[in-house]
Amino acid sequence: MPNTETPIYLYNTKTRTKGQQFVPIDAQNVRMYVCGPTVYDRAHLGNARPVIVFDVLNRLLRHVYGDKHVTYVRNFTDVDDKINAKAVATGRTIGEITDETIQWFLDDMGAVGAIEPDHMPRATAYIAPMIAMIEDLIAKGHAYAAEGHVLFSVSSYAEYGALSGRSVDDMIAGARVEIAPYKRDPMDFVLWKPSSDDQPGWDSPWGNGRPGWHIECSAMAHDLLGASFDIHGGGNDLTFPHHENEIAQSKCAGHDFANVWMHNEMLQVEGKKMSKSLGNFFTVRDLLDQGVAGEVIRFVMLSTHYRKPMDWTETKRVEAEKTLRKWNAIISQVEGEVAPSGLFMDALKDDLNTPQAITEMHRLAQGIAWNQLDILQLKASGEMLGLFQNNGLMDANVAVNRTERVDSIIESLMSSRYQLRSVKLYEKADKIRDGLISAGVEVREGKDSYTYDLLPSFDVAKLEALK
């Protein structure tokens, strides 16, 4: 039985609302397609954002509908002019470059804790279905061949622009269209283009050539997920033209295509767009090589909601590391399996509200009573986000010392302190606090509750002596 008590709500770019409860077409097989990378270089930090966001959604769907009842597809674009350029520049073959880059990508995304999708199709393995789809579009009057090219006729699809909310006039004014002599209309986009001898090419009814970018996703999604599926995702830089074009192709081929369209916002670095010219461009591998744990990258990413621009900062990295060291140590002291807390799950089901889910984890981690259930829920919640995959990020002092014994000593000292204060023996009460500080226990006091942390200077013998 799927665990569906609280419904999932997802913001749909197509309807511009998250008001509609997510209901899969087939709860036995929930289907998601996410646009993957073009493989010519190491993934930069921004590329990791959709991977991590949709990894969390994949985990959530599997949790709710069952591990065997979700199919997640993410492609590799391994035919692209940037790849050709790199082959020319390095004297290596396209195959060598794409194989190597794909392996890098899988290694780097594995390091940030992403589960591999069920299918990771390469565009070049789907040339035949792309050609078949293009032929079908021509036969139906939605595409035409001209000078070795095949173009999609945008005016043949009345709803063009509906996803991105742009009118065709706006798109032309935005000058994001290329004018070419073989186009009937400047808006028309390429489904197939001719290849010269030094470019990768395949035989087709239109001569030796290669696909345009957009058709691959329409063909692969259809082949692996069917004519209709539940969720289509990617970064919001893909909404137009890539996703708009995918929709036009698939709808005109007679497919229902995706129900829910989800887009993550872009990642920036220290408030600026990441770019090589600004010197703030780095890859996931750069960070890993500097000793930043993959788990820290994941945690920082999830601290911002996926539909908000996300700023990678050094301050956030340091904070994330501190938090994870503490949490890893706390959870290392419990054994057992429970479900994540209800508040945590509610946050996640509310359009993947990961910052809210993390707030709930902070609450669990600060439970004054230090009860076993809170800690187990913290552990289960972190695992749901793909955290706590044991990468050595642990505050050793906390791990060794934060035992039930330490907890009960602190609790009895604190309750003496409260009693002394209630009879106005402030000096004696403060002595207890000072003793705790000198033993390396940092106590944060609220009106009638407290939380504590063990500092690196924590000394269990000093604490015992306070009793």
User: Does position 171 bind ligand AMP by CB under 6 A?
Assistant: no
Q: Can you tell me which of 35, 215, 287, 409 binds ligand AMP, judged by CB under 6 A?
A: 35
User: Which residues in 424-463 contact ligand AMP (CB under 6 A)?
Assistant: none
- Whichever of 50 and 200 has its CB closer to ligand AMP, that residue is 50
Span interacting with ligand AMP, options 43-51, 127-135, 143-151, 190-198, rule CB under 6 A: 43-51
Q: Can you tell me which of 57, 60, 112, 238 binds ligand AMP, judged by CB under 6 A?
A: 238
Both tokens of residue 71?
């199919």
Of 95, 119, 37, nearest in space to 284 by CA: 37
User: Does position 49 bind ligand AMP by CB under 6 A?
Assistant: yes
With CB under 6 A as the rule, give the number of residues binding ligand AMP: 15
- Smallest distance, Å, CB 234 to ligand AMP? 4
Span interacting with ligand AMP, options 46-54, 300-308, 346-354, 360-368, rule CB under 6 A: 46-54
Q: Can you tell me which of 8, 10, 32, 35 binds Zn ion, judged by CB under 5 A?
A: 35
- Smallest distance, Å, CB 233 to ligand AMP? 8
Q: Which residues pair with 150 in a beta bridge?
A: 145, 192
- Smallest distance, Å, CB 129 to Zn ion? 15
Residue 334 contacts which entry, ligand AMP, Zn ion, none (Cβ below 5-8 A, type-dependent): none
Residue 217 contacts which entry, Zn ion, ligand AMP, none (Cβ below 5-8 A, type-dependent): Zn ion
With CB under 5 A as the rule, give the number of residues binding Zn ion: 2
Of 106, 96, 427, nearest in space to 284 by CA: 106
Both tokens of residue 375?
């800690």
Residue 88 contacts by C-beta under 8 Å, 6 or more apart in sequence? 198
- Whichever of 124 and 377 has its CB closer to ligand AMP, that residue is 124
Give dist(CA 210, CA 123) in Å, integer.
Answer: 11
Q: Can you tell me which of 217, 252, 258, 399 binds Zn ion, judged by CB under 5 A?
A: 217
Tell me the angle at which helices 45-65 and 294-302 cross, rounded to the nearest 10 degrees.
80
Residue 50 contacts which entry, ligand AMP, Zn ion, none (Cβ below 5-8 A, type-dependent): ligand AMP
Q: Which residue has the tokens 């009842």?
A: 69
Q: Does residue 18 contact residue 12 with C-beta atoms inside 8 Å? A: yes
Give dist(CA 353, CA 303) in Å, integer.
Answer: 9
235-251 burial: b if 16+ Cβ within 10 Å, else e: bbebbbbbbbbbbbbbb
Per-residue DSSP letter, 377: H
∠ CA(65), CA(11), CA(379), 5° rounding? 50
User: Does position 382 bind ligand AMP by CB under 6 A?
Assistant: no
Give dist(CA 288, CA 282) in Å, integer.
Answer: 11
Of 68, 64, 54, 61, nearest in space to 115 by CA: 54
- Smallest distance, Å, CB 38 to ligand AMP? 4
- Whichever of 237 and 464 has its CB closer to ligand AMP, that residue is 237
Both tokens of residue 33?
């397609």
- Smallest distance, Å, CB 124 to Zn ion? 15
- Smallest distance, Å, CB 205 to ligand AMP? 28
Give dist(CA 307, CA 291) in Å, integer.
Answer: 28
Amino acid letter, residue 144: Y
CA distances from 141 to 150, 162, 183, 308 (A): 12, 21, 15, 40
Q: Can you tell me which of 162, 266, 339, 460 binds ligand AMP, judged by CB under 6 A?
A: 266
Span interacting with Zn ion, options 18-26, 33-41, 179-187, 309-317, rule CB under 5 A: 33-41
- Whichever of 157 and 189 has its CB closer to ligand AMP, that residue is 189
Per-residue DSSP letter, 8: P
Residues found near ligand AMP in the complex (CB under 6 A)? 35, 37-38, 46-47, 49-50, 234-235, 237-238, 264, 266-267, 274
